[in-house]
Every structure is written in structure tokens, then in C-alpha cells.
Structure 1
Amino acid sequence: MTKSTSTTPGATSNGYRPGLPWRIQRAVATALDRSRGWDRLSLPLAIAVLAGLRDSLRRHNLVDTSTLPTTGSPALPPFDPRVLTERTVDGSYNDLRAPAAGTVGARFGRNVPLSAVSRPTPAEVLEPSPREVSRQLMTRTELIPATSVNALVAPWLQWMIRDWFSHGKSPSDDPWQVELADDDPWPERPMSIMRTPEDPTRPDTSPPRTSVNTCTHWWDASQVYGTTAEQQKEIRTFEGGRLRVEANGMLPTPRSNHATLEEPGFWLGLVPLQTLFTREHNAVCDMLAGEFPHWGDEEVFQRARLVVAALIAKIHTVEWTPAVISHPATVVGMRANWWGLAGERLSRVFGRLSDSEVVSGIPGSPTQDYGVPYSLTEEFTAVYRMHPLVPDLFDLRSHEDDRRYREEPYTLRELAGPESLPILERVPVADFLYSLGTEHPGLVTLHNFPRFLQEFVRPDGRVMDLAAVDVLRHRELGVPRYCEFRRLLRLRAPATFEELTGDPDLARQVSRLYGGDIEKVDLMVGLYAERLPEGFAFSDTAFRIFIVMASRRLNSDRFLTRDFTPAVYTAPGMRWLADNSMASVILRHHPELRPSLRSAPNAFTPWQRSGAGS
């Protein structure tokens, strides 16, 4: 068995130094988590342990890559006083002390020490075969459902990722060449997988491997508003702050490369969300124009963008995440990220009771980067590879009577790519939302990867196995393999395959593929194989990255902390944020869905099916 090469976890410490009570809680939390598991503790104790684990992760697992040699930082526009109250299109000047932090073109950070980040050899990238990992361990024969949530969670996550991160367009030259088994029916031999673009800001290709984000790192709804002035200009009407929407309520076909449907991975599930929040922006504009009739187009647009971006962050924090990880402690914890342990009711009546994020939540608390300039991380992008959430089949039905649009379900292949758009001429957006809301997604586990995504045809005609690509990307970008990844998060690594999976048959499959060496198990395989905590649709190991990064995206964003005020958002804007949820956004624009949503406690949990077919 290969021995671990991990550094001492404490070696990853940054400049964050909490007080003595927090240090004691952190030590006790780590000990309880290792001995019992946070998810097996009583609710109050589990919440306290999660708070301690988050503090430990903030100290040890936020690693700055901007200190590595560079050929220069992303070019910044000149300072304009408007950046004090407006989000910039490229993400600059959010952090006024480090105005390039989080911008388009800034590097991904890390959640593991740089000494553990390799620039792997070709053999380390290609062995064992990513294609065989896909075929033997990922292939879905029948959907394993996540029954506590509805299928809307899958397009929501993809839509969020389009706001958060992208490694950019892969170069077409010198692809990885994956040798295939004799019985593999793949149409080309060997399989070609394009490489991740190199970091253009590094003067050489020495370790550790780094990459840049072609999106802004901030939670700023850039999938709606674009990341360049040209993209933003295209979507605006320049009247009353509003965005372009056709008379039928749909979005115009985009003309620029910002077009959602021109990007690989487009499918119809993204259309309702893009349309919904474009129309929500316009609703906020109408509200602001009514409150402030003397304001011009630009003022209304910028304030509405702030409100919509914060509303999306709120929905993801207190609705999407608690739905997909619905353990009682995580539900309380995620809601506390927004409102604190004081809770939503006290927040609405009294406002903030304290500067403490624990008492009154992160929005409105002091901005904090925990000693490391803000960025999303490579490990964050790795654990968000959750393609098993996506079903292969979609039973599109009418919200009025549950009537099917056709006898056989639509396949994911039929709903993908620009050629799928005519389906929306037959299936209204409200019915598409209803269909997603009343069906289940997949569980993020082995043998549950969508078959269509193992034979995914890009708009340029290239065929990809996304399961093989996901595995290869982790290796290529120097993300540690599963056992080492756990050690670097101060978790115990499994000693055997049976301990990893808890399933003897599955353990034999994984062991056979990895030649009996548990240390070689890929991160994605380990994440998909491990036991899930109660109510979780994905793994506890992935959750550790969420513990630190979910709150960090709020903590470090000036517009979600110190500038989360009526002076910046306006008092009516703050009320809009307090009063709205995913359900209210859906019902504002599709009130016909009220009967289906009326009994759902959360818009991402299963909706009620309509009369005749229920």
C-alpha cells in the first residue's frame, strides 16, 4: 500500500487567530467529530461541533495562491467612487484593500497546503484509466433517487456554477490520450480529453499547479449580468434599469458568447432559472422606480442587481443547501449563516442584535477574509462535480391536471443543446418548472452517473464522457486523492475498501479497479462511495469544504457584510430581501403554480402533483 505523503495539518495555518474560547471549542469539536461523528451527536452538540470544525477549517484550510510567482495581476479599471455602492462587472473593488481579489482572471485558491498540490506526471493523470473508472463505477443502470428533494436542485446547482467558476476554454492541441479496453465501444481510439488551460499569470509550469477563474469569484449573479461590459450592454434595455425580455415573457436569443445556449452543458433546465431571475430583476426595478421616481436608469439597474444577487445567495444558503443536506444540524447551521442563532423572526422584528455572525448571521456583520485574500478554491470546484443529481429521463407534464405531454419521457439528450429550444414552444415554462418540482433528482453516489453525460455531444460535435473528464480533472489539477484529501481536512482515512463503502460487493469493485491500493482511490470515487449522513444527497467529506467555503463566500463579500445596509440596498430593497424566497419568486412570475407549491415547505422539496394524474 502506498504511504501517505501528507504534511502536518497545522502546517497549513494562515494568519487567522481566534480567541482562546474558540481554540478550545475547535479542539473539542475535532475530537468529538473523529471519535463519534458530528452527525451522530445530539442537535445542540452537533451544532457546536460544526461551529468548531468551521473555525478549524478557516485556520488550516484557506490557502493563498496569489503569493506564488506571477507575470502580473489582472488589469484593473481605474477607481471610481461608484464602486463603493455598486458591484463592478468584472468583480474588482469588492475588497477595497485588495481590489483585484475575486476578479475575472484571478487564481483559484486552495483548501489544502501548497506542498500537497502536485503537477502530476502523465501516468498519475491517466492511471487507472479514467474511462474505466467511469464504466465500472459510475454507470447508471437505474436512477438511484434522492427522495427528499425535487429535480429542480440539479439545474439550480448548474446555474449557480455558471456564476461561480469556470476554468475557461480548453486548448485543442495536445489533448490527454486515454487508452481504451478492448471491449470499450467508444467511437474513437484512444479517447481524447482536452487539457485544462494553463495559468497565464504563472511565469513557468513548476509545481504547484494553479489555474485562473474566467468568472468572477464573487456571488454576484454574473450568470445573469455578464462579466464584461459588452455582455452587460447586450442584456439591458437602458430604460428604467430593466433587462431585455420578449413580449411572451421569454428571453431574447442572445447574440454574444455570453449566450447560455452557446456554452457546452446547456439544457432546457437552465432556461426557467435564467428567465425567472431576469424577470425578477425587472420586478425589483419596477418597485424601486415607484419608490424613487427621480432615479435614472443606471441607478435603478445597479440597486436592482444588488438585491437580486443577494436574493440568489439567500435562496442557496437557506433553501437549496438545507434541502440537499437536510440533517437537522445542517438545516439549523445554514439558516444561522444568514440569520444567526437568533433566527429569522427576531431578525425581522429587531434587526441585528449583535455584530457576531453566530448571534445575528453573516449578512451585515464585519467583512472577514480570515487572513487570506478571497477566492474560490480548486477543491471547491472539485467537490461541486455532482452530475449524478441529473436524471436521464424527464416526464414533462401539465401543472393543471398532471397530463403528460407525450407517453414516453423526454431524454436528457432531447432536452440538451440549442436544438432543444422548440420544446418550450410546446411545453410552457410553468409546466417545465412543475415537472422538475414533482420529480426526484439522483443521489450523488456510485453507479448513478447519467448515461447521456457519459456520451455527451458538445455543440461543436465532440463526444465526451463527463464522468471520465471529472476524474481526470481532479488528477490534472493536483487535487489530492481521496485518502490524502481526508487527512488534510483532519479526517481519518479509511484503511480498507470495506471501511470506505460499507458494501462488500462495491468494495470489491473499487479494490479491483485500483489494484487493491486504497491510497489510489480518486477523490470523486471516494466521495461517491462513502456513507452519507442522515438527509444528505452528497458526501460528508465534500461537506467539509462546504462548511468553510459556504460561509466564506458571504463573510468576504463587502456587499453581503459591512455594506449589506439600507444605505446601499435601499430600505425597500432590504424589505424585498427579507420577504422573498424561491417559492415567492416562482409564484410572482408563475402564480398558476400556487396549488402545487402550497404544501412544499421549501421550493426544492417535492411539490404536490395536480388532480387527475396524482
Structure 2
Amino acid sequence: MSTRRCTPRGSGYRSSLPWRLLAGLAGYVDRRVGWDKLAVIPGLLTILGLRVRYRRENLHDTTHLPSVNLPDPAPPSAKHRVARTADGSHNDLDEPRMGMAGTRFGRNVPLDRIAPAKPEDVLSSPNPREVSRALFTRHELVPATTVNSLVAAWLQFMIRDWFSHGTSPTDRPWEVPLMADDRWPERPMRIMRTPDDPTRDPNAPAGTPDTRVNAFSHWWDASQIYGADADEQRRLRTGTLGKLYLWDDERPTPGPATDPSSIPGFWLGLAMMHDLFTREHNAICDQLHAAYPAWDDEELFQRARLVNAALLAKIHTTEWTPAVISHPTTVKALRTNWWGLAGERVHDLFGRVSDSEIISGIPGGETDHYGIPYALTEEFVAVYRMHPLIRDDWHLRSAADNATLRECTFREIAGPKALQVLQTVDAADLLYSFGTLPPGLVTLHNFPRFLQEYERPDGHLQDLAATDILRNREMGVPRYNEFRRLLRMKPAECFEELTDNPAWAKEIKRLYAGDVEKVDLTVGMFAETLPAGFAFSDTAFRIFILMASRRLNSDRFFTEYYTPAVYSKAGMAWIDDNTMLTVLLRHHPELRPALAGLSNAFAPWNTAPRTV
């Protein structure tokens, strides 16, 4: 059975006259009025039209660029039809390398618009450190008051599944000049380069766009829980009833999978999410074992992994994202991605009532790559650089009575110290603390100060704000105005159009020497006026319009193979019946008062009354 619908652009319903008219009308209305200024139904139609156009014009393949000959994985076997592989291979049975770990990032901009990573461009004035100091430094937390700090923990938990450029080489670092008053301890500042693409043909013609590979699989397969390769996955498994080791279990063999605190970016929020959904995996195993007692360890593990990964995708699509972009139109659009316009109630009563993803949602529909082999993109990585969500100061409190347990800085809950906190403070209290603390708004002058002086596990000091700016330049991600043009958005003609904050406009103008075309993508996105209910920019949202649905459409385990025959009847029921709220309450029932009356676990939680 072929699962690939890699049809040429311009074929099928997306190139039919009605769809082309909708795409054209959507672009016109969006530029003249703005999707967010419309009522919900016209706003939905506008977003739908934008997605049609983005699918046709903003998916660009890098796999056809010159590469060394790479062996294909082993031919697909019967087990590949019903189970995810550790490295993401064989998701597409016709092209088993598609989306697997070690394959290239795609692009959302034309390949001929990718600037080469020349030092004069990457380190151009203002250099990344100057941008960090002048525009990103947080003097006081600007909170995102409509959500809680679990949104920050959840995002990094997802990113640990989605993408990584791998470990940077230590030779040939970028050397960033420093201002005379900069107290950075080394001169010049050194930022390690992104690893080269090992699949690139060294004899590729001059001018061939730079490419990089994803160290993780591109699929939404919960690899942050299950490991990125077969060896790591074996170390994570107990070998009994499909279950995984928890943090504090005795384990038979050492290795990276058992020492996550050595991973760059590891912190308490990531540890909490990992612990919660490792427990969820084990709970799913118990449910499947009760329903299908003849299944062995391998069967239970693979089916539980499918269920857990789908539940994570459902939570992200229908809970996390609607919480951080809580405009009524986007909330409806995101729920439509999962359940269609027919809605959750119709799905629960009748299942899919139409082959159309618009009517019945993407899960269970047809697999479609929209003419381009599936891959996450460098632009997707760029817009997910949302470090301002993270607070500097963390007040850990008791879920029972809101009493203070510990006052921490981010530095005290990062790296190896994260596991120490997880082992000494009750998990329910940690979740309660995150649930009642607002994160930061993704905006200028709100970058965590401890991440501007972040000490990596290898001891290297790093300014992550400067690194974020440098990475986009290094990857050839267009600057802000060009990025918007390539998404058919209106560019800023002057600095006053860039932001509604006059002080910021002056700061940016001064820093970029009056050239609005030089403004970096991240700076522009952080400066933007946000749509109602948004914790991040409308420009970033355009990539989500395209890629949020693509990650589901291209994955056969969310489309053609999203069936009881693959997941089991009990597994499908688990996905349907559960949310982030039920997951939290299953493993930490003492959180019930804090979650009472909430419809979304990423909204601010109830504060426990203090006992006298």
C-alpha cells in the first residue's frame, strides 16, 4: 500500500479555480484588513485560503540538492506498517529515508533566496551581541498573563522531539566583536558554528544553497521520550509489559539516555514534562495489558508509543497552541485541524463523517505531502525561538496551601540541578508552581537574563539571545521584511510601522543605522503588535498555518494508519478521552482543587488558600 501523495504542485483540488480564487481573495483581505480583524467564519476562510497558498508556494525541497550516496534503510517489513521506528525511518513506506534522523531540513522560502553564510553577513553591524544587549535584555519580567509557565516547559519538551542541528564543532567558531563596555569574560565572543551537512556532496556546484540535517527525526513521534536511535531506546525500556524507566528507577546500564542533565538546554520544566509523559506511557501500557493480556512486551511498548505520541500531538494542537494564540478564530482553526468543522462532539458520536479534512479533521484522513517530501524547515526552527517565555525567578510553592517551598533562579533549576529539585520537591508542588506562575511574553526587552549568560554542560558560556540572531543569519533565514514579502505579507516601510511602541522604534532605528531592511527576523517578530490573545507574533503564525497541519498530513500514523487496527480500539479511546487536564489528574490527583473549573491546563491555575 503506497502512503505517499507527493503529487506535483498545481494538481488536484488545490489548483482548481475555486481554491485558487479563495487563496487570492484570502491574500487580498489579509493585506487590506487582517485575518484577525474579521469575524470568526470569514477569519477561518481567510486562514484556509492562506494555507492553500502557502502549501503551493512555501514548501521547498532540499533533498534534490547534490548529496553523497546514502544507503536506504532496510526494505519495509510487516512491523514497519504498525510501529514507529526509533530513528523515524519507514514512516513513508515508499521513501523510507523521508523524515528520518539525519536527513535535511526543508525550507519555507525559495532556495535562491537563501543567503550564503558569509562572515560579513553573519557578523554584520549590528552584530548579534549588540542586538542582544540593546534590544533583548530583560530589566523586569513582562508577563503573559493569559497562560501559565507550563507553556514554556511544554514548548521545549516538544522541541526536544522535533529538531536539533546536533553538537557544534569546536573548531572555526564565529568570533563576535565586543563593545568596549561589554563585560563578557572572553574577547572576542565565540559562538560555535552549526554542524555541516554530512550528506552534502563536496563537489556540489558553487552557489548551491547551504543545507543542514536534523539530528532528530522530523516526525511528531515523541522521540524525546523514546530515544532517537535503537540503542538509546533499549536503554530506556524496562523490558517488562512495555514500560519505560522513570527518573529514579535503578537502571542496568549507564549512558546518555540515563543522564539527560548533560543535554544542552536541560532544565526543570523539561524534566517535569518528561517525567509526566513517561508515567503516561506506563499507564497506557497498563490499560492495553488489561485489554489485550496476550500482548508481549514489544507489542505493548509499540502500541503505547503510538498512543502517547498521538496524545501529545492532540494536546499541542487543541490545548497548548489555542492557549498561546487564544484569538477566537485561531482557537476554532486549531480545533478544526483535529476534529474538523463537524467538531469534537460529532467525532465522539460518529467518528469521521467525511473524507474532507475541513469537515472531519486531519487525523484518519489521507496522507498528503503536497508535492514536496516531508521535512521540518529552517524557518520553522527560526520562529520557534521563543526563549522569552522562560522566567528568571521561580517561586516554588505547595499545592496544598500555597506556602513557599523554595525561591530559585533559572540557573538553580537548570542542568544537573534540575534533577536534584525534581527528586527533593514533590512533583505535584512543582506542577502547581508552574501552573500558577505566568511566563514571559515573547517580545523585546524580555529575554531571560540567565540565558544571556548561560553556562552549557561543557562549561562554555553562551549568550543565547546573540546565538538566536546569529543562527538565523547563519542559516540564511531572510531578514524580517524579506521574510514577510515571501509570505505575501506587507513589509514595514519605516521603523514606526514595525512596532506601535515609539521608544522601541527609535531603539531599533538607531541600532540598525536607519535601514529597516536590515532588521533581523527575530527582532521584527518580537517588536510586532500582537493580535488579540497572542503570546507571539502574527509573522510567526504564518509558518504555523502551514507547518502545524503539514506535520499531521504527511504522517501516515496520523492519517491513513490512524485506525483501531494499528492503535487498537482501547488505544484510540485513550486518545479521544484524554487531555492535559486528565493526564495531570491521573498522576497527581492532589491537583484537583488547582484545576477545578479549568477547560485548558495551560491557562492560569487556581491558587490554593493559605492556611493560618
TM-score, length-normalised on structure 1?
Answer: 0.95
SS at match of 1:197: coil
Aligned residue runs from structure 1 range 40-79, under 5 A: 40-73=37-70, 75-79=72-76
Deviations 1:365-413 (A, max 9, x none): 000110001000000000000000000011100000000014xx31001
Q: 1 CA distance for matches of 2:277 and 2:328?
A: 29
Alignment of 1:593 with 2:591, yes or no, is: yes
Deviations 1:440-491 (A, max 9, x none): 0000000000000000001111000000000000000110000000000011
* 1:529 counterpart residue number: 527
SS at match of 1:560: coil
SS at match of 2:404: coil
Cα 1:252–1:383 change in 2 (3 A) is: farther
* 1:303 counterpart residue number: 303
Aligned residue runs from structure 1 range 153-302, under 5 A: 153-204=151-202, 206-245=207-246, 255-258=254-257, 259-302=259-302
The count of residues paired between Structure 1 and Structure 2 equals 598
Q: 2 CA distance for matches of 1:613 and 1:426?
A: 23
Contact 2:261 2:419 in 1 (8 A): no
Deviations 1:251-297 (A, max 9, x none): 96983223421101111111111111111111111111111111111
Deviations 1:484-526 (A, max 9, x none): 0000001110000000011221111001111100000000001
Q: 2 CA distance for matches of 1:420 and 1:28?
A: 50
Q: 2 CA distance for matches of 1:601 and 1:553?
A: 25
Q: 1:505 aligns with which of 487, 498, 503?
A: 503
Contact 2:271 2:419 in 1 (8 A): no
| AA aligned opposite 1:547 | I
Deviations 1:395-436 (A, max 9, x none): 100000000014xx3100111110343223431111000000
Contact 1:86 1:306 in 2 (8 A): yes
Q: 2 CA distance for matches of 1:207 and 1:182?
A: 38
Contact 1:15 1:372 in 2 (8 A): no
| AA aligned opposite 1:594 | R
SS at match of 2:175: strand
* 1:546 counterpart residue number: 544
Contact 2:197 2:211 in 1 (8 A): yes
Contact 2:307 2:571 in 1 (8 A): yes
Range 13-22 or range 564-573, more displaced? 13-22
Pairwise CA distance, 1:74: 5.9
Q: 2 CA distance for matches of 1:49 and 1:254?
A: 54
Q: 1 CA distance for matches of 2:470 and 2:50?
A: 30
Q: 2 CA distance for matches of 1:207 and 1:474?
A: 18
| AA aligned opposite 1:230 | D
Contact 1:16 1:370 in 2 (8 A): no
* 1:418 counterpart residue number: 416
Contact 1:38 1:49 in 2 (8 A): yes
| AA aligned opposite 1:257 | P
| AA aligned opposite 1:183 | D
Q: 1:434 aligns with which of 410, 432, 448?
A: 432
Contact 2:493 2:516 in 1 (8 A): yes
Contact 1:117 1:207 in 2 (8 A): no
Q: 2 CA distance for matches of 1:520 and 1:139?
A: 20
* 1:3 counterpart residue number: none
Q: 1 CA distance for matches of 2:137 and 2:101?
A: 35
Cα 1:252–1:533 change in 2 (3 A) is: farther
* 1:86 counterpart residue number: 83
Aligned residue runs from structure 1 range 356-435, under 5 A: 356-406=356-406, 409-435=407-433
Deviations 1:310-361 (A, max 9, x none): 0000000000000000000000000000000000000000100101000000
SS at match of 1:273: helix
Aligned residue runs from structure 1 range 535-574, under 5 A: 535-574=533-572
Pairwise CA distance, 1:15: 4.9
Q: 2 CA distance for matches of 1:562 and 1:65?
A: 26
Pairwise CA distance, 1:42: 1.1
Q: 2:601 aligns with which of 600, 603, 611?
A: 603
SS at match of 2:155: helix
* 2:3 counterpart residue number: none
* 2:96 counterpart residue number: 99
Q: 2 CA distance for matches of 1:75 and 1:391?
A: 44
Q: 1 CA distance for matches of 2:154 and 2:611?
A: 26
* 1:336 counterpart residue number: 336
TM-align CA RMSD: 1.5
Pairwise CA distance, 1:613: 7.0
| AA aligned opposite 1:318 | T
Cα 1:252–1:40 change in 2 (3 A) is: farther
Pairwise CA distance, 1:120: 2.8
Deviations 1:570-605 (A, max 9, x none): 111110000000010111110110110112220000
SS at match of 1:394: strand
SS at match of 2:522: helix
Cα 1:253–1:518 change in 2 (3 A) is: farther
Contact 2:530 2:536 in 1 (8 A): yes
Range 383-392 or range 424-433, more displaced? 424-433
* 2:574 counterpart residue number: 576
Pairwise CA distance, 1:209: 1.3
Q: 1 CA distance for matches of 2:511 and 2:214?
A: 33
Contact 1:14 1:63 in 2 (8 A): no
Q: 2 CA distance for matches of 1:525 and 1:308?
A: 36
Q: 2 CA distance for matches of 1:97 and 1:425?
A: 46
Q: 2 CA distance for matches of 1:494 and 1:567?
A: 52
* 1:10 counterpart residue number: none
Contact 2:102 2:213 in 1 (8 A): yes
* 2:351 counterpart residue number: 351
SS at match of 1:124: helix
Structure 2: gaps (5+ residues): 1-7
SS at match of 1:421: helix
Q: 2 CA distance for matches of 1:212 and 1:254?
A: 29
| AA aligned opposite 2:366 | P
Q: 2 CA distance for matches of 1:525 and 1:290?
A: 53
Contact 2:369 2:550 in 1 (8 A): yes
Q: 1 CA distance for matches of 2:467 and 2:162?
A: 20
Q: 1 CA distance for matches of 2:252 and 2:592?
A: 29
| AA aligned opposite 1:46 | G
Cα 1:439–1:99 change in 2 (3 A) is: same
Identity over the aligned pairs, expressed in percent? 58
Q: 1 CA distance for matches of 2:326 and 2:97?
A: 36
Contact 2:261 2:418 in 1 (8 A): no
| AA aligned opposite 1:311 | L
Contact 1:251 1:275 in 2 (8 A): no
Q: 2:441 aligns with which of 437, 440, 443?
A: 443
Structure 1: gaps (5+ residues): 1-12
Q: 2 CA distance for matches of 1:181 and 1:135?
A: 10
Q: 2 CA distance for matches of 1:505 and 1:530?
A: 13
| AA aligned opposite 1:136 | A
